């Protein structure tokens, strides 16, 4: 792998993590020269990394050129939750051995650090489930959703019982019972779909959303 390719790969992960952490808020323009300065590299690998993120829909191309982080609104959040639910439901129905999901998610702490930890643990659980599928597109889709839903998940604490809920979800998947796993996944997503406005309000308060 060439040095530029290695740099682009590193930048891809760095920028992806920064977006997931809310450092580039929804609606913000991504200036290639500024990102290059921030990470101490040239503009070319930055463009390569950003184009890759466009392919995952983690960011978007602007009509006049350039890149922007997609904005969030209740309808978009609902669509992301529904898309994730559809994929995970399909995986849970078709994977031969759900009990191979692995260890239980690490219990998140309280406070801001705990919210970040919870969001990461949720994404990791769903990615582990996707890896059990013999369809590699499942993992690609769930990983992309992990990027786009990370900020949203950090504000799901308004629902309450998120830590125990995630552990219970893992237990149902780990049991290997496909029917129970699908029902648990359905309840998990239904709870969020019914509370999208509440979650969105918390995101707005934290000034992640451009108004």
**CB atoms closer than 10 angstroms to residue 55:** 11
Q: What is the pLDDT of residue 6?
A: 65
Q: What is the pLDDT of residue 41?
A: 86
Q: Is there a domain that residue 211 lies in?
A: no
Condensed to tens digits (0 to 9), the pLDDT of residues 50-75 reads 888 888 777 888 877 788 888 889 99
Condensed to tens digits (0 to 9), the pLDDT of residues 111-142 reads 666 788 888 899 999 999 999 999 999 999 99
CATH of the domain at 14: 1.10.10.10
Partners of 29 in beta bridges: 68
Q: Is there a domain that residue 210 lies in?
A: no
Same domain, 79 and 61: no
pLDDT higher for 209 or 64? Answer: 64
Q: How far, CA to CA in Å, does 110 sit from each of 15, 69, 125?
A: 26, 28, 19
CATH of the domain at 169: 1.20.120
| Residue that finishes a domain, picked among 22, 46, 68 | 68
Strands across the sheet containing 29-30: 29-30, 67-68, 60-61
How far is 129 from 102, CA to CA, in rounded Å? Answer: 9
pLDDT of residue 16 exceeding 70: yes
| Whole-structure pTM value | 0.81
């Amino acid at each position: 792998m060439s040095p530029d390719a290695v740099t682009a790969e590193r930048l891809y992960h760095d920028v992806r993590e920064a977006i997931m952490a809310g450092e580039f808020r929804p609606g913000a323009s991504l200036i290639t020269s500024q990102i290059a300065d921030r990470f101490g590299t040239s503009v070319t690998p930055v463009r390569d990394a950003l184009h890759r993120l466009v392919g995952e829909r983690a960011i978007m191309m602007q009509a006049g050129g350039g890149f922007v982080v997609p904005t969030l609104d209740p309808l978009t959040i609902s669509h992301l939750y529904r898309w994730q639910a559809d994929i995970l439901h399909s995986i849970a129905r078709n994977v031969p051995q759900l009990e191979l999901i692995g260890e239980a998610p690490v219990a998140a702490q309280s406070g801001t650090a705990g919210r970040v930890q919870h969001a990461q643990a949720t994404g990791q659980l769903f990615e582990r489930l996707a890896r059990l599928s013999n369809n590699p597109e499942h993992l690609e889709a769930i990983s992309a959703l992990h990027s786009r839903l990370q900020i949203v998940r950090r504000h799901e604490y308004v629902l309450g019982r998120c830590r125990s809920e995630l552990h219970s979800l893992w237990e149902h998947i780990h049991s290997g019972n496909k029917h129970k796993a699908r029902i648990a996944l359905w309840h998990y997503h239904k709870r969020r779909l019914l509370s999208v406005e509440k979650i969105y309000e918390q995101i707005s308060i934290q000034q992640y959303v451009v108004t």
